[in-house]
Amino acid sequence: MFEKNVTKVVQDCILDSGIQAKDVAAKINKPYSTLMREINPFDASAKLGAETLLEIMKVTRDVRPLQFMASEMGYALDARHV
C-alpha cells in the first residue's frame, strides 16, 4: 500500500482541481515538465518548493497539502475561508 506523503497530496490537489495541470503550471509561471516532476511522489530528484506549493494552493483553492502537513505535526487545521 502506498503511504501518503505531502508530494502525493499536492499531486492529488492538482489532479482533482478540475484545472488542467498545464494551466496550473502556466498560472504559477513554472514549466509544465518541471511541475510534473516536482509533484511526482516517485521522483526523488525533483523537489517542490514552499513558494510553489503556496501558489498551487492559491490556484487550485485547495488546502489539503496544508492540512496534511498540520496533521503530520499533530495539529488540526480549521479550513474556513476568510
User: 10-61, pLDDT tens digit by residue?
Assistant: 999 999 999 999 999 999 999 999 999 999 999 989 899 999 999 999 999 9
The residue extents of the domains of the chain are 6-72
Give residue 1's pLDDT: 42
* Residue 50 in grid coordinates: 514552499
**Using the 8-state DSSP alphabet, how is residue 2 labeled?**
P
Give residue 77's pLDDT: 84
Q: Which fold would CATH assign to domain 6-72?
A: 434 Repressor (Amino-terminal Domain) (1.10.260)
Distance CA 81, CA 30 (A): 26
In this structure, the number of other CB atoms found within 10 A of the CB of residue 63 comes to 15
Distance CA 82, CA 76 (A): 17
